[in-house]
Structure 1
Amino acid sequence: MSTHVIEIENLSRRFGKKQALANVCLSVPEGAVFGLVGENGAGKTTLLKHILGFLKPQSGTVRVFGLDPVADPPGVLSRIGHLSETRDLPPWMTIRELFEFTRAFYPKWDPVYAEELRMMFELTMTQKVSTLSRGQLARAGLLLALAHRPPLLVLDEPSSGLDPLVRKDILDAIIRTVVDEGRTVLFSSHLLDEVQRVSDQVAILDQGQLLLTSPLDEVLVSHFRLTVSFAEPQPFFPQLTGALTWTGSGKEWDIICNGQRQELEAALKDLDAEILAQTAPTLEEIFVARMKSAARSSFKD
């Protein structure tokens, strides 16, 4: 039996002339927190909609718990807690009515856990959805996604536009769910510091294509920042194997690199350049470097 909750093979999707997804292959292991990152329009929401069965693949396959989410919506959706980016909740309902309405769809709804989350998220039963702030809407949506204790959470930009305190609530809920109960979380986000904080694995999506998918620790270890000094001022940075991006001028430059350390050191030595320092870039810096490198490659093509 597969240990991957989600398995996607060669998934492609086009909307008119726009290629939203192009031969995406992705596996999400059981019990992991999987962060999906990319700029707006990269295809993150489209990918999540295929996982939820809201869109049918034009080519390729999607399996969730070994099932086709389009062919078997009850078998898949009953095991997923979903928070959409739009936080689309019925505005005329109170929190209490929202609880009862949602509970009817999930036999495994845990009222004790729901109440615990309601207290933690500081929501009042008599509040109407129409009166909730953006932060309260996010908390309410996350509560509904968690309260039936689904084995898989699919969260689309769960903390987008929220204040730091609300974001901390959401992240704490994710961490607690996964650590305490071994559930699986797939979430998309543009907040790279938060992705780095909670994720076990990450994938970078750019214009419908996966630039990278790997365990987070491997991503961080395989990238490094070098500060280098040339004997003579450089009008522009030379093309070097493994160098994704560079900043600086004259003699001193900072470069973010992707592995290939020996080749890079040899090339720098040939150019009479000295490595002054090596530091670890953040996931956000790696993401920016990867995006710029992909943009240069696309421009050349």
Structure 2
Amino acid sequence: MTTEGVDGVIEVSGLSRRFGRSLALDGVQLDVPRGLVFGLVGENGAGKTTLIKHLLGLYRAQTGTVRVLGGDPVTQPVEVLSRIGYLSEDRDLPDWMRISELLNYLRAFYPTWDVALADRLRNDFDLDPQARIKSLSQGQRARVGLVGALAFRPDLLVLDEPSTGLDPIVRRDILAAIIRTIAEEGRTVFFSSHLLDEVERVADSVALIDRGRIVLSGPLDEIKRSHRRLTLRFDESQPQPPALAGTVVCDGFGRDWTAVCPGPIEAVAMQAAGLGGRIVEDQTPSLDEIFVAQVGSRRHASVEG
């Protein structure tokens, strides 16, 4: 299999997945170009791990298609998976091995294993090669897993909730390693997280997933530029959130309200003026604010429907 010239590292189209009566993925559409750090954002149970298992060929698509690095991870596992580095959320490593033994074991599977890179990462992460896996903390296990996933210089690195249970210093170490060893070399990182500040700090592009559906997807800068956080002040106290078309959430009390607007603000300003209000502050919202607004608006609409 050749994938020369393939720009779409991950191509998911119309992917749906049911477990019994539960719809885990609902018509997921996702395209991840080469050379990006791509963050998949969602609450626990939103469908992030289920989607990742499809990318790794652990689940066969019930509806839709999945292609990774130009191939089908289910029917071409050797060709596809040999080019993917993966760190699972559960940090499943053999407890009886020492760190050095585990890295030597993994080295045998990958012709592209870079011994110098593995040693550098191990030193950067302050890992004792003679330490047994069973004696490691959760953060140390994550670092060992990351060394194993990075050392053969994969074309695609997939991380499922890489910061689970880690302290902030370790989280920064992991993110720095991702940026330094993958993104700067033009390869691709796909990681899931419910920590939106972490995603905002490192991702080039993001997809927001809620209850199995992609709510929003695109370059992070464009998503942020396309949304505004507006502070509105009214002449009189408002007993309930003012109805302003074009906003996805409006919160506050009395005369002061904050709205998130995913488009031009002119219509919002005109409507607010009709209610005796005006925009007193216009700022770029955080990814967390955008996610809360989009997901909250969607759930509110589904309840009303």
Matched, 1:268 2:278: no
Residue 193 of structure 1 and its aligned partner are, at CA, apart by 0.8
Contact 1:32 1:178 in 2 (8 A): no
Partner of 1:2 in structure 2?
A: 6
Q: 1:113 aligns with which of 106, 112, 117?
A: 117
Partner of 1:138 in structure 2?
A: 142
Partner of 2:131 in structure 1?
A: 127
Matched, 1:24 2:33: no
Contact 2:235 2:276 in 1 (8 A): yes
Partner of 1:298 in structure 2?
A: 302
Partner of 1:42 in structure 2?
A: 46
Matched, 1:177 2:186: no
Residue 66 of structure 1 and its aligned partner are, at CA, apart by 1.2
What is the TM-score when the length of structure 1 is the normalising length? 0.98
Partner of 2:63 in structure 1?
A: 59
Matched, 1:104 2:108: yes
Residue 95 of structure 1 and its aligned partner are, at CA, apart by 0.4
Segment drifting more, 74-83 vs 173-182: 173-182
Matched, 1:202 2:202: no
Q: Structure 2: any 5+ residue segments left out of the alignment?
A: none
Tell me how far apart the structure 2 counterparts of residues 29 and 209 of structure 1 sit (CA, whole Å). Answer: 20
Segment drifting more, 42-51 vs 223-232: 223-232
Letter in 2 for 1:147: A
Residue 2 of structure 1 and its aligned partner are, at CA, apart by 3.5
Letter in 1 for 2:43: E
Partner of 1:250 in structure 2?
A: 254
Matched, 1:166 2:166: no
Q: 2:217 aligns with which of 213, 227, 237?
A: 213
Residue 52 of structure 1 and its aligned partner are, at CA, apart by 0.5
Partner of 1:94 in structure 2?
A: 98
CA RMSD of aligned residues (A): 1.0
Segment drifting more, 17-26 vs 159-168: 159-168
Tell me how far apart the structure 2 counterparts of residues 279 and 161 of structure 1 sit (CA, whole Å). Answer: 33
Residue 269 of structure 1 and its aligned partner are, at CA, apart by 1.8
Deviation digits for residues 197-221 of structure 1, max 9, x if unmatched?
1111000000000000010001111
* Partner SS, residue 35 of structure 2: coil
Q: Structure 1: any 5+ residue segments left out of the alignment?
A: none
* Partner SS, residue 169 of structure 2: helix
Deviation digits for residues 207-250 of structure 1, max 9, x if unmatched?
00000001000111111111111122111012222212222111
Residue 68 of structure 1 and its aligned partner are, at CA, apart by 0.5
What is the TM-score when the length of structure 2 is the normalising length? 0.97
Partner of 1:232 in structure 2?
A: 236
Deviation digits for residues 19-43 of structure 1, max 9, x if unmatched?
0001100000100000000001100
Q: Percent identity?
A: 55
Letter in 1 for 2:229: R
* Partner SS, residue 292 of structure 1: helix
